[in-house]
Structure formats: C-alpha cells, structure tokens
Amino acid sequence: EPEVTQTPSHQVTQMGQEVILRCVPISNHLYFYWYRQILGQKVEFLVSFYNNEISEKSEIFDDQFSVERPDGSNFTLKIRSTKLEDSAMYFCASELATGQPQHFGDGTRLSIL
Amino acid sequence: DAKTTQPTSMDCAEGRAANLPCNHSTISGNEYVYWYRQIHSQGPQYIIHGLKNNETNEMASLIITEDRKSSTLILPHATLRDTAVYYCIVRVDNAGNMLTFGGGTRLMVKP
C-alpha cells in the first residue's frame, strides 16, 4: 500500500539554525499538509498546499516557516531560524481529492538544542 | 469545524469489541465524521469516515446516530496492537481542509 514517507526520522539542530524537513507524499495525491505535535500535546495544523500555493495556514505558521514542492515528488517544510519551542514531531500528510482521507507519514522528531 | 467530545480513556479486554463514543452535537449538514488513531507517537492513521450512513471497512465500523449528533467507532475484536489514542474529528469534506485534532480517547486493550 502506498504511504507517505518522511526524512529524517530524527533531526537535532542548534537554536537559530535553519532546518528542512522532507516528505514524499503518495504519488498521485494533490493536496499536502504539515502538522506538528509538541510532546504530550495535541496534533496541530500548520499549513495546507495545493497547486503550488499555500491554501490555508495557522497562526503557528509565521514568517519563519515556508513550504515548497521543489519537484514532482518532494514536499518540504523549512524553518529559517529555529527556536527551542519548535521542538516537536512534524507530520506530513497528503490527500487525493475531496471525499478521500488524509494519509500521514510517521513524522520527523525535531529537537532544538 | 464543529468540536467533538470523547472520553479521555477506556479499557477493553483483548478479543472483545471496543466501542468508542463521540459527541458532535453542533455538527453541520455538510460535515463528515472522521476517525483516526495514533499509536505511540507514530503518525495519525486513518480508520474510517462517514456522513450519515453507517460505514464498515476492514478495520472498523462507524455507527452515526440518525440526528448525527453522536457516533460510535467499533473495533469488533480488539487486539493488543489496537492500543492507541483514537480521534473523532468532524470536517467539511472539501479537499484542502485541515483536520482539527482534539485530545482523543486513549484506548488500552488488556490481555
């Protein structure tokens, strides 16, 4: 069964550094998402992306965050200058079309030191 | 999106049916009920979704009341691997709409 894959599984970065989290969505899916989950807290929506544009973003997704689909397969989340509070699990999801569910990857654990 | 209310935790004996309730009394006519689960900090896993009819797939059954104000997810024969946090989410079923996760129900399946 096709799945969403995320790399790396664990990323450790110094505060203030840039980090890029990578996702390969399911190949024929058209809608892409990033969510995050701080340890012990709820899964929170960050951003949705369709047709090479951001469709919707939350208050968390400020100017330090950006997303890109640089080619036909990858979907990336960049954090420009990481803060301690960016430490979390980051989940990528993709969706084929209306009426179909979102499918999630197993996440990248981001640890900011 | 409308909010949902779920019990914080539930226990179930292995091999028995697990019935997980969800209240969504303010659900709108065009909102679907989705169920996901999260096993030990893995990514949320889609289980099932429905609008108003009962639904069944290889993982579970979804029973939605006639007034659509509540639903029940049924795992017919729970196994230890079904131990997870189960999330009930209502969502307008347009692609591109986010999922809003609550706290979910922590289901513990016991031998």
pLDDT at residue A73, rounded to an integer = 86
**Measured between CB atoms, which of A48, A99, A104 is closest to B44?**
A104
pLDDT at residue A101, rounded to an integer = 93
Q: Are B48 and B35 in contact (CB under 8 A)?
A: yes
Q: Which positions 49-108 of A are in contact with B (Cβ < 8 Å)?
A: 50, 55-56, 58, 89, 91, 93, 95-107
Q: Are B24 and B69 in contact (CB under 8 A)?
A: yes
**pLDDT tens digits along B24-37:** 999 999 899 999 99
Q: Are A26 and A2 in contact (CB under 8 A)?
A: yes
**pLDDT tens digits along B55-100:** 999 999 999 999 999 999 999 999 999 999 999 999 988 877 899 9
**Measured between CB atoms, which of B34, B43, B96 is closest to A107?**
B43
Confidence of residue B50 (pLDDT cuts 50, 70, 90): very high
- A30–B45: do the CB atoms touch at under 8 Å? no
Within 8 A of A53 by CB-CB distance, chain B residues are none
Distance CA B92, CA B99 (A): 9
Within 8 A of A48 by CB-CB distance, chain B residues are 96-98
pLDDT at residue A34, rounded to an integer = 98
Per-residue pLDDT of chain A (113 residues; tens, 9 = 90+): 779 999 999 999 999 999 999 999 999 999 999 999 999 999 999 999 999 999 999 999 999 999 999 887 899 999 999 999 999 999 999 999 888 899 999 999 999 99
* CA atoms B89, B19, A99, B40: torsion sign: positive
Residue B1 has pLDDT above 80, yes or no: no
Within 8 A of A98 by CB-CB distance, chain B residues are 93-95
- B46–A95: do the CB atoms touch at under 8 Å? no
pLDDT at residue B93, rounded to an integer = 80
- A4–B43: do the CB atoms touch at under 8 Å? yes
